[in-house]
């Protein structure tokens, strides 16, 4: 298929790609390459799970209360430095997923886990029980390329979701509408395809689906369930949650919602209504099999159209994790990456709201574009200046390679909102990062190939192709076209 098409395919299905990775695909037949990407054999993460995933919510809450009490009790009125389990587990969970993204051999699976995380959102901020989010993430990985109907049914019983959208508190006497509303608006039909009465009916049908407070597992509480008659989307019966999902899965809008979102994520910002309807019909007919749908998307003429290359904007995760991968930067400490993602607006397990991340052009505002450039400049410097000075404070916790040098610089982004504003510094960043020192991923590659690897199209700002390879890499990373995929 050639270098440029291989690059395009990988840029849409992985987190950054090195010249060697592109070359491994360029000689393949295109269909063979797509099937290889989709074959992803493992449905589990390779990174070992954090140690606390067996803790029940009640246990976490008790430990949290103890920590909060100790924190308050310092005599001088200042808050004592106490590790609070909810915050600490949340931090470890984010780092766990970043390790998986950096180390995975199946990046497409991780891209799909992100897709489902952004679709069926749940947030640490509200759930406050990280083990449930770990299990939800495992579910997304298991069904990443599996079956959407299965995924929807599992999500409706997923403890993190039941906590996030208040399903666990929804009882016959007073149904809570939060989950019912988002199920219709965001997860399946989309706005404008149902009435307020449908939301109320759905909320009643799901009453009694809850979470065991000791084990953190799904539980059905019969006495809390409203088994009365309901009218939902024109059908009447003594519906339970399963019946509602069945009706939604029979509705053509459900498949269209998913295909529209996948199109936006993988193909283009311009939806092709006819093509989406066709793919959605096939998707529904297949019983919601995800792999054939994604295969059809990747093989579509729209996806392969050379004019489509570089027409999507990289998400923060693609930008940061991808750059680390391409530069081959060692990352002994992942907190720096979490901070960058926070600044750019895409923290794992912490979507901005139940709608997830808007993506597309919304990734780029005057604020985030400046921050993206600043982080890229830092990463260029991080390879140039071998041992970075300063960096982030290392904690003395075990299993942390505190003796290793911080390679990824800490950021002083404006998102660390609680810090006082910094004084103006005279130094200009204009001349920072003129040249990248190349690691093994890029060493020995000629300048033309470096540019074709890093940029999906002609550079916007014009590169000096006669510069050293390090200078070419630095200016390609800082070129506006590098924001595109």
Applying CB under 8 A, the residues found at the interface with other proteins are: 166, 169-171, 173-174, 176-178, 181, 185, 191, 196, 269-270, 307, 310-313, 345, 352-355, 360-361, 364-371, 373-374, 377, 413-415, 417-418, 421-425, 428-430, 432, 457-458, 460-462, 480-481, 483-484
Question: What is the rounded distance in angstroms from the CA atom of residue 141 to the CA atom of residue 42?
Answer: 9
In 3-state terms, what secondary structure has residue 250? Answer: helix
Residue (186 or 296) nearer to other proteins, CB: 186
Question: Minimum Å distance from CB 360 to other proteins?
Answer: 8
In 3-state terms, what secondary structure has residue 235? Answer: strand
Radius of gyration of the chain (CA): 24
Which residues touch 166 (CB under 8 Å, ≥6 apart)? Answer: 176, 178, 179
Question: Minimum Å distance from CB 200 to other proteins?
Answer: 9
Residue (192 or 440) nearer to other proteins, CB: 192
Question: Minimum Å distance from CB 162 to other proteins?
Answer: 12
Residue (258 or 371) nearer to other proteins, CB: 371
Residue (19 or 322) nearer to other proteins, CB: 322
Q: What angle do CA 379, 383, 385 make, to 5 degrees?
A: 105
Question: In this structure, what are the phi and psi dihedrals at residue 209, rounded to the nearest 5 degrees?
Answer: -80, 120
Question: Minimum Å distance from CB 483 to other proteins?
Answer: 6
Alpha helices in 40-106 (DSSP H): 57-72, 85-103
Q: Is the dihedral of CA 159, 160, 165, 168 positive or negative?
A: positive
Residue (32 or 197) nearer to other proteins, CB: 197
Other beta carbons within 10 Å of 403: 7
DSSP H helix total and E strand total for the chain: 22, 4
Question: Minimum Å distance from CB 142 to other proteins?
Answer: 29
Residue (146 or 208) nearer to other proteins, CB: 208
DSSP symbols for 146-164: SBHHHHHHHHHT-HHHHHH
Residue (19 or 175) nearer to other proteins, CB: 175
Torsion of CA 374, 375, 379, 381, to 10 degrees: 30
Question: Minimum Å distance from CB 167 to other proteins?
Answer: 10
> Which pair of tokens denotes residue 314?
């990289």
Question: Minimum Å distance from CB 77 to other proteins?
Answer: 17
Residue (141 or 314) nearer to other proteins, CB: 314
Question: What is the rounded distance in angstroms from the CA atom of residue 90 to the CA atom of residue 83?
Answer: 12
Question: Minimum Å distance from CB 250 to other proteins?
Answer: 23
CA–CA distances in Å: residue 72 to residues 60, 68, 69, 77, 79: 18, 6, 5, 8, 6
DSSP symbols for 379-390: HHHHHHSSSPSS
Residue (185 or 318) nearer to other proteins, CB: 185
Question: Minimum Å distance from CB 385 to other proteins?
Answer: 18
């Amino acid at each position: 298929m050639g270098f440029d098409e291989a690059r395009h395919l990988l840029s849409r299905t992985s987190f950054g790609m090195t010249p060697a990775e592109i070359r491994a695909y360029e000689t393949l037949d295109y269909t063979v390459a797509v099937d290889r990407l989709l074959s992803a054999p493992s449905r589990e993460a390779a990174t070992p799970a954090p140690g606390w995933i067996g803790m029940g919510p009640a246990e976490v809450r008790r430990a949290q209360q103890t920590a909060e009490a100790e924190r308050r009790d310092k005599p001088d009125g200042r808050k004592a430095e106490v590790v609070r389990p909810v915050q600490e587990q949340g931090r470890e969970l984010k780092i766990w997923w970043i390790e998986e993204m950096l180390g995975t051999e199946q990046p497409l699976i991780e891209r799909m886990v992100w897709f489902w995380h952004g679709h069926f959102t749940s947030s640490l901020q509200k759930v406050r029980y990280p083990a449930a989010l770990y299990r939800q993430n495992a579910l997304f990985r298991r069904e990443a390329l599996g079956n959407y109907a299965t995924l929807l049914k599992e999500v409706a019983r997923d403890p993190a979701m039941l906590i996030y959208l208040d399903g666990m508190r929804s009882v016959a006497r007073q149904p809570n509408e939060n989950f019912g509303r988002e199920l219709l608006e965001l997860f399946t039909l989309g706005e404008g395809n149902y009435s307020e009465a449908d939301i109320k009916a759905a909320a009643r049908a799901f009453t009694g689906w809850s979470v065991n407070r000791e084990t953190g597992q799904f539980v059905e509480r019969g006495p809390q369930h409203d088994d009365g008659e309901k009218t939902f989307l024109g059908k009447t019966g003594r519906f339970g949650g399963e019946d509602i999902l069945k009706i939604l899965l029979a509705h053509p809008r459900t498949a269209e919602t998913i295909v529209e979102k996948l199109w936006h994520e993988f193909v283009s910002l311009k939806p092709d209504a006819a093509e989406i309807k066709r793919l959605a019909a096939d998707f529904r007919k297949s019983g919601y099999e995800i792999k054939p749908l994604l295969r059809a998307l990747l093989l579509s003429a729209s996806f392969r159209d050379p004019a489509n290359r570089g027409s999507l904007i990289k998400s923060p995760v693609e930008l940061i994790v991808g750059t680390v991968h391409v530069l081959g930067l060692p990352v002994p400490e992942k907190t720096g990456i979490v901070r960058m993602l926070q600044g750019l607006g895409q923290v794992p397990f912490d979507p901005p709201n139940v709608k997830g991340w808007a993506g597309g052009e919304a990734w780029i505002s005057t604020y985030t574009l400046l921050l993206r450039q600043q982080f890229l400049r830092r990463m260029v410097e991080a390879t140039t200046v071998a041992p970075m000075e300063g960096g982030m404070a290392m904690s003395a916790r075990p299993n942390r390679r505190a003796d290793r040098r911080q390679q990824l610089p800490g950021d002083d982004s404006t998102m660390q909102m609680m810090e006082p504003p910094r004084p103006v510094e005279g130094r200009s960043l204009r001349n920072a990062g003129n040249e990248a020192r190349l690691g093994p991923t890029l060493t020995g590659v000629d300048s033309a190939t470096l540019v074709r690897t890093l940029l999906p199209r002609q550079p916007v700002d014009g590169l000096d192709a006669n510069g050293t390879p390090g200078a070419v890499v630095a200016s390609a990373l800082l070129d506006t076209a590098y924001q595109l995929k």
